[in-house]
Amino acid sequence: MRRTLLAIGMAFASAPLAMAQSRVSEAAFIESARVASEKYQDRSVAITEGYRQIGSDFPSMGEHWINIGLVFDGKFDPAHPEVLTYVAVSGRPRLLGVAYVLPLLAGESAPDWPATRDKWHDHFRTVEDETETPRHHAPGHGGDAPRLAMLHAWIWLANPAGTFAADNWAVPYFRLGIKPTEDAPEAAAKALALVSGGTEYFSASIYAAVPLTSTERKKVDLAFARSRIAVEGILPSPSTTARTAFDAETLSTIWAGLWKQIDSSVRAKARPSLQLVPIR
């Protein structure tokens, strides 16, 4: 049976949202989160304390490990994050950040701290929809309806878009042990994700956006394979710790070329839908 996130929330909490501690500055909030989550660098500690993986591994987020008991305790406390985000690097889980989740009823709003309200995003679809690979990044604003509001905090891996931005496109670099160049374009990171587990996510996003014929799917899969090979061809050796601006530009060109191949692989009437794919 498909169950809404709200239905699950009602089983745990019906009390109004309560702040576990008074408002603090952004810097103090981040410091509190870092001190509290330090122990979760060892993921076995997180598992012992009740965190479990939900959903897939996302190219710009990693894995979400959630503590359901904290989600529905009615509290918002930087020292008790409801979600931990991990990625595997050389087979070892690495903690990248935390996220805070608040169940909101009609008339309630996410707080405007430690970040502005627009940094929070809503989850209001079914559990299956919210954790399905291509739908996780679909724009979500539940309006005034019951919903879950989420705020990411990238406290262990700097996010070029800001500490509280949802997507962190430094993640593909981190997975490969590569230091991104300053102001590297997002497209370069997306290209790198092709060789670090992102291809399945990207292709699933396309297939969810528009139904393709078997022939079209084969052409799209071939475009991904070609682009992945192109990225692999310019990857630095394991001993290299930095990329050049030229490499970032080349990666961006590969990403743009991939979408040109994909567009040319499908019927003309399907292309407008492809333009709306969030990860494009």
Task: Mark which of 142, 168, 194 sits at the end of a domain.
Answer: 168
Q: Is residue 204 part of a domain?
A: yes
Task: Mark which of 109, 138, 168 sits at the end of a domain.
Answer: 168
Q: Is residue 94 part of a domain?
A: yes
Question: Are 130 and 136 contacting, i.e. CB atoms less than 8 angstroms apart?
Answer: yes
Both 152 and 191 in one domain: the answer is no
Both 160 and 36 in one domain: the answer is yes
Asked if the model's pLDDT at residue 241 lies above 70, the reply is no
Both 25 and 116 in one domain: the answer is yes
Which residue(s) pair with 245 in the sheet? none
End-to-end CA distance of the chain: 32
Number of compact structural domains in the chain: 2
Q: Is residue 85 part of a domain?
A: yes
* Dist CA 271 CA 266 (whole Å): 7
Asked if the model's pLDDT at residue 44 lies above 80, the reply is yes
Both 69 and 153 in one domain: the answer is yes
Parent domain of 202 = 186-274
Percentage of the chain exceeding pLDDT 70: 81
Both 97 and 201 in one domain: the answer is no
Q: Say how many C-beta atoms besides its own lie within 10 A of residue 204's C-beta.
A: 16
What is the phi/psi pair of residue 271, to 5°? Answer: -65, -40
Both 222 and 129 in one domain: the answer is no
Instruction: List CB contacts of 244: < 8 A, sequence separation 6 or more.
Output: 181
Which amino acid, 210?
A: V
Both 234 and 137 in one domain: the answer is no
Query: 11-15, 35-39, 54-58, 134-138: lowest mean pLDDT where?
Result: 11-15
Q: Is residue 180 part of a domain?
A: no
Q: Is residue 173 part of a domain?
A: no
Query: 146-150, 195-199, 202-206, 229-233: lowest mean pLDDT where?
Result: 146-150
pLDDT band at residue 199 using 50, 70 and 90 as cut-offs: very high
Both 202 and 80 in one domain: the answer is no
Question: Exposure pattern of 112-129 as b/e (b: 16+ CB <10 Å)?
Answer: eebbeeebbbbbbbbbeb
Both 128 and 22 in one domain: the answer is yes
Both 261 and 145 in one domain: the answer is no
Both 204 and 68 in one domain: the answer is no
Tokens standing for residue 223: 């475009």
Task: Mark which of 168, 198, 229 sits at the end of a domain.
Answer: 168
pTM of the prediction? Answer: 0.86
pLDDT band at residue 146 using 50, 70 and 90 as cut-offs: confident
Q: Is residue 111 part of a domain?
A: yes
Both 155 and 52 in one domain: the answer is yes
Which amino acid, 12?
A: F
Q: Is residue 214 part of a domain?
A: yes
Cis peptide before 114 (omega within 30 of 0): yes
Q: Is residue 177 part of a domain?
A: no
